[in-house]
Structure 1
Amino acid sequence: MQLLTKWLGKAKRGGIVAAAAAMSILAAAAATAKPAPSGVFARIEASPGFPEGIVLHGNRVFVAGPASVGAPGTGPSEVAIFHARTGAPLGTIPIAGEDLSAAHGLRGITTDGDGNLYALSSQLGVVRLSRHGNDWAQDVYAGPLPDLPLCSLSKGGEACSPGSKSHAAMPNDIAFDEDGYAYVTDSLQATIFRIPPGGGAPEIWFQSEALAGYFDLVGVNGIRVSPDGARVFFTVSFCAEAPWEGRIFSLPRKDAPAPSDLKVEHVFDGFEGPDGFAFGETGELHVALAGSNQLAVVAVGKGELSRLALPETSAIPLDAPASVAFDGRGGMLVTNQAHTTGNADHFAVLRVRTSDTGAELFQPRIE
């Protein structure tokens, strides 16, 4: 395993003692500062930019990027670290082992009960990052998702994709259940993979044409396990059969759900592009709408309740919001991916004030 950490501030490169001192000063200042207000929680550097996955653990916020799958020749993907109360930058974790001469990126991210991070790399698979003092060790928890042939062209008996167009795998979001299984969405192959507790090869958990996106648009996208652990919820951003519709589906959490188990929980009309989401404390879904640059609150079985908004004074507007996470302090953090506009000034984590503290993610202990 490699130790990888890049600290921000005035510490010189390679100066571990100086970096640790700078880190301590930042942390101490952040601990006594006031919570970040609604609006801009933290800005994301233009390189790598395009932030997507976000997760909180303790007093740290971790943000993964770039979701754009960086062009050949750009720097490594990374996880940016911020203080959960103030948004103060606390450093970055660059991803090692990527072929920087080829397209590369980082999307979904989650954590286990020990604070280890699990980030989805387009090249490497599920990368696990384990903290060791002021450094992070990196290893591969699960290998890359396989590129599946179309079922319509397969020879029979082999794993295949039920979509209508051939695509390489596109790992997008990841979520643990209480037993330590990790669920990973593949946005271009109409597939949800499952990784066994402790890691290993991704296994096909569920496939359906209903999970396919229209042409080259994103299909199955964000994923979370319901707070009671009974069902797995996920979004499909632009449905193949009706691209103007984005849908929220759920399946029972069992080893082999059948197509008849698939349940439509909500439909968004008008190319709103539901992306990542989080469960509120009483089970409502707080959904990032990347297509319409909005945030929706949906009650399962009852429909949409409201839309959340940034204050008019916010220096950055919602621009293709991708993932959301509650901060437990009356706020919801939103990654502003800006993938359509490409406006680097909009790369940020935004904070929206809510009265909901959110449901806790499943963070199992992984042996």
Structure 2
Amino acid sequence: MPRHPRLVAVATATAALALIAAGPAAGPAAGGDPTVSDPHVVAHFDFAAGQNAENIALEPDGSADITFAFAHQVARVTKKGDTTILATLPEVPDAQTPVGGAVALGIARAHDGTLYVTYATGRKETGIWRIAPGGGEPEQIGFLPVDAFPNGLALDEECGTLYTADTRLGRVWSLPVTGGTPTVWATGAALEPTAQIPFGANGLKVHHGAVWVSNTARSTLLRIPIGPGPERAAGPIETRATGLTFIDDFAFTGHGDTVLAALIMDNKLELVRPDGTHKTVLTRADGLDNPTSVAVRAKTVYVNSAAFFNTQNPDPNLLLARISKNKH
């Protein structure tokens, strides 16, 4: 059964809008930019089996835990490319989402090895699922509205809170790691999709006392401060970068605010500086095929490609590269 007919339709529509969504040209290169080099694909996945590499969390040994979107699976991939399936989310009959069927999306890892995954189904299974250390039967711990599309996911382990970006409803949800009904943590036009592009808040990271979110429709990178006290309320949404056409997920390169962002339709990995200017550091020529997510560990960059919109010779894969960071 074909898994991607609606994705192709979405691709056609969004590609036609690329010029509308495109922002200003990137700024001048900064002398202290990190450099990304030696890109190489370490694992190729099975497109026909729904192994579209969507999101990524890293293990202490450098292995990558990856969500396979349409296979509803979580796989562990070593730095040499060896792949093991850790868990499979339940089949959902008559699943209906903006991309067709049910999809496994964001992933976050706790220090004890517990994994958390977002699952969009258009049914009661939509929400956040927990997978015990080492894999096994997933358990739903967060129950979102059926029309939600929970995407990027991050764990603030210090306060025991999960945050997820809702691409369809344009908001950020929070959920205690103990589970329950998620709370709407942040809303606003900056998080919402547009009339032309129905994919809003997408990637999400917790960094330096704030929740950072990408908005695919608006080509932006946003920062939302986490307030003090037990309420930890969302502060005003700040726009940190624009012109990131069809931005998906992103990752910070280190302790500062420099970001590597996956531009899914443009087949680019973009380096975004703290002042919002940006430049391209990897392209399709390096092995990218609709890149969806990024992770950084020490001197290694991990990039997932889902090949969602590639109608000829799709190559979902995991690419590794070397990052040399500046001292500032």
Q: TM-score, normalised by structure 1?
A: 0.69
Aligned to 1:319: 289
Does residue 280 of the first structure (1) align with residue 283 of the second (2)? no
Q: Using a 3 Å threshold, how does the CA distance of structure 1 residues 319 and 204 change in structure 2: closer, same or farther?
A: same
Aligned to 2:91: 98
Does residue 289 of the first structure (1) align with residue 259 of the second (2)? no
What are the residue-to-residue correspondences of 1:194-273 with 2, within 5 Å? 194-215=174-195, 216-226=197-207, 228=208, 230-239=209-218, 246-254=219-227, 255-257=232-234, 261-268=236-243, 272-273=245-246
2:68 to 65, 68, 73: 65
Q: Secondary structure, in 3 states, of the residue corresponding to 1:265?
A: strand
Aligned to 1:242: none
Structure 1 residue identity aligned to 2:92: D
Stretches of structure 1 that go unaligned for 5 or more consecutive residues are 1-36, 71-75, 148-167, 240-245, 358-367
| Alignment coverage as a number of residue pairs | 271
| 1:192 and 1:205 in contact (8 A); partners too | yes
| Cα distance in 2 for residues equivalent to 1:282 and 1:57 | 19
| 1:171 and 1:184 in contact (8 A); partners too | yes
What do the CA deviations read for 1:108-161 (whole angstroms, capped 9, x no partner)? 1010010111111113221111135xx524211212x214xxxxxxxxxxxxxx
| Cα distance in 1 for residues equivalent to 2:154 and 2:237 | 18
Aligned to 1:158: none
2:72 to 52, 72, 77: 77
Q: Secondary structure, in 3 states, of the residue corresponding to 1:210?
A: helix
Q: Using a 3 Å threshold, how does the CA distance of structure 1 residues 344 and 61 change in structure 2: closer, same or farther?
A: farther
Aligned to 2:41: 40
Q: Using a 3 Å threshold, how does the CA distance of structure 1 residues 353 and 146 change in structure 2: closer, same or farther?
A: same
1:345: how far off? 3.4
Does residue 50 of the first structure (1) align with residue 24 of the second (2)? no
What do the CA deviations read for 1:166-212 (whole angstroms, capped 9, x no partner)? xx211111001231211111001011100023222111001112211
Aligned to 2:153: 174
| Cα distance in 2 for residues equivalent to 1:306 and 1:206 | 29
| Cα distance in 2 for residues equivalent to 1:222 and 1:304 | 19
1:344: how far off? 5.7
1:113 to 107, 111, 114: 111
Stretches of structure 2 that go unaligned for 5 or more consecutive residues are 1-37, 96-100
Q: Using a 3 Å threshold, how does the CA distance of structure 1 residues 99 and 39 change in structure 2: closer, same or farther?
A: same
Counting aligned pairs with the same residue, the percent is 24
Structure 2 residue identity aligned to 1:321: P
| Cα distance in 2 for residues equivalent to 1:218 and 1:353 | 31
Aligned to 1:29: none
Q: TM-score, normalised by structure 2?
A: 0.76
Superposed CA RMSD: 2.2
| 2:87 and 2:137 in contact (8 A); partners too | no
More strand by share: 2
| 1:308 and 1:352 in contact (8 A); partners too | no
| Cα distance in 1 for residues equivalent to 2:52 and 2:313 | 8
1:96: how far off? 4.0
Structure 1 residue identity aligned to 2:264: A
| Cα distance in 1 for residues equivalent to 2:312 and 2:120 | 23
Structure 1 residue identity aligned to 2:40: G
| 2:87 and 2:136 in contact (8 A); partners too | no
| Cα distance in 1 for residues equivalent to 2:203 and 2:224 | 14
What do the CA deviations read for 1:78-133 (whole angstroms, capped 9, x no partner)? 112111x32222x113424332453211001010010111111113221111135x
| 2:114 and 2:132 in contact (8 A); partners too | yes
Q: Using a 3 Å threshold, how does the CA distance of structure 1 residues 56 and 355 change in structure 2: closer, same or farther?
A: same
| 2:46 and 2:316 in contact (8 A); partners too | yes
Q: Which has the larger radius of gyration?
A: 1
| Cα distance in 1 for residues equivalent to 2:222 and 2:93 | 36
| 1:39 and 1:311 in contact (8 A); partners too | no
Question: Which structure has the higher relative contact order (CA within 8 Å, separation 6+)?
Answer: 2
